[in-house]
Structure 1
Amino acid sequence: IKKKQQDVVRFLEANKIEFEEVDITMSEEQRQWMYKNIPPEKKPAQGNPLPPQIFNGDRYCGDYDSFFESKESNTVYSFLGLKSRLASKTES
């Protein structure tokens, strides 16, 4: 879990994407919020969803596997619900 969390954090930092890391082991309130805000179809059949779970504000983006797939297909900005930085740069 820690390696996956670090992978997400490193990517966000490298791309200068602002984020807030929430440690659900330190806050029962945050843990309950996360569980409540993951869509039912995204929850595992048994047990609780494991971190990292990625949100943009209250909008659920996905889990690590979804993040990794979006990274591999170069669609992370879309996955996160952000506008691509590439689209905002003017062509020379």
Structure 2
Amino acid sequence: MPHPVGADPRPLTGEPLALDLLNTRWIDAEGPRDLLESPDGLAIWLGSPPVREQTAPLAPAADRATLDRLLETRTALEALASAAALDEP
């Protein structure tokens, strides 16, 4: 089932899924932004073409449970990216 989608405000989209998830946080002229601060933002992310293509068989719901799991995943990916940038094991 398609998710209701508003305009995706992120400056960079369409990256591989893990990077696209990391790109749900960005900084613009208004300051730090986080697309995943609400289930509405989650619906925008889930409705973006690359995410829809990758998750089509699963069709995850834009609900609080999915949002919580994605926030945990994003935190883990950020830790991995930070460790790699510092060349830590």
Q: Same fold (TM over 0.5)?
A: no
Which structure ranks higher in relative contact order (CA pairs < 8 Å, sequence separation ≥ 6)? 2
Structure of larger gyration radius: 1
User: TM-score, normalised to structure 2's length?
Assistant: 0.32
User: TM-score, normalised to structure 1's length?
Assistant: 0.31
More helix by share: 2
